């Protein structure tokens, strides 16, 4: 009997670690998988942005997340078939529609850009263009104290810092994978090995 209980507990732990505790915000029409490997067809006319320069507010991209309290590091591998202006995919940490950070690849003028958008009431945007259009990018997002640090890599070994930004401390947040297709075309993206681990 004890052996069966232990087997059930281990199975439940495995299921929970592979995305069974995760939730959708703006669930897409077509998707499959879990935190270990998630494939999404990103619906068109979806985006995240708030006011700056463009004057509009968007909060409609698919976001697959879990709730986290305290400090943590999240990581994921992102492989996208970007085709149209502003196709994007990566990680997001979010408190609400006025307070969030998204980072990953954003497709602009035929070039993949490492991108970070920090939103506190209004959005800002920074990019690092990549003319070689790498197949995949690995992302790490560290939330610690009052900041978020974003790092990226193209080989999962050599990580470089993209952004260090303020983020409200001691507040429950959502962390997960995000994508958007602001134009008329959908696109496919795969997220591999999404992991969130607590840090001290």
What is the C-alpha to C-alpha distance for residues 63 and 101, in angstroms, rounded to an integer? 12
Determine the pLDDT at residue 7: 37
Determine the pLDDT at residue 95: 98
CATH number of the domain located at residue range(s) 23-198 in this protein: 2.60.120.200
Determine the pLDDT at residue 133: 86
Determine the pLDDT at residue 131: 86
Q: Where are the domains of the chain?
A: 23-198
Q: What DSSP element (H or E) covers 187?
A: strand 187-198
| Predicted TM-score (pTM) of this structure | 0.89
What is the C-alpha to C-alpha distance for residues 49 and 123, in angstroms, rounded to an integer? 6
**CA 81 → CA 185, 186, 197, distances in Å?**
11, 10, 28
Determine the pLDDT at residue 42: 98
* Six-digit token string for 150: 């974003």
Q: What stretches of 13-145 adopt beta strand conformation (E)?
A: 23-25, 30-33, 37-42, 48-50, 57-59, 63-68, 72-80, 88-96, 99-108, 111-120, 122-130, 137-144
Going residue by residue through the chain, which has 200 residues, state the pLDDT in tens, using 9 for 90 and above: 544 443 333 333 333 343 459 999 999 999 999 999 999 999 999 999 999 999 999 999 999 999 999 999 999 999 999 999 999 999 999 999 999 999 999 999 999 999 999 999 999 999 999 988 899 999 999 999 999 999 999 999 999 999 999 999 999 999 999 999 999 999 999 999 999 999 98
What is the C-alpha to C-alpha distance for residues 191 and 132, in angstroms, rounded to an integer? 20
């Amino acid at each position: 009997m004890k052996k069966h209980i232990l087997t059930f507990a281990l199975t439940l732990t495995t299921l929970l670690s592979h995305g069974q505790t995760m939730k959708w915000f703006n669930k897409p029409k077509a998707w499959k998988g879990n935190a270990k490997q998630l494939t999404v067809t990103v619906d068109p006319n979806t985006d995240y942005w708030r006011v700056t320069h463009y004057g509009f507010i968007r909060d409609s991209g698919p976001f697959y997340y879990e709730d986290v309290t305290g400090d943590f590091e999240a990581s994921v591998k992102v492989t996208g078939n970007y085709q149209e202006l502003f196709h994007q995919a990566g990680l997001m940490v979010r408190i609400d529609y006025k307070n969030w950070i998204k980072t990953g690849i954003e497709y602009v003028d035929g070039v993949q850009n490492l991108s970070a958008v920090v939103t506190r009431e209004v959005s800002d945007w920074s990019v690092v263009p990549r003319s070689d259009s790498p197949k995949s990018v690995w992302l790490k997002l560290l939330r610690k104290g009052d900041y978020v640090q974003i790092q990226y890599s193209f080989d999962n070994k050599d990580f470089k810092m993209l952004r260090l930004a303020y983020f409200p401390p001691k507040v429950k947040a959502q962390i997960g994978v995000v994508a958007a297709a602001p134009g008329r075309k959908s696109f496919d993206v795969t997220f591999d090995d999404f992991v969130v681990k607590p840090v001290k």
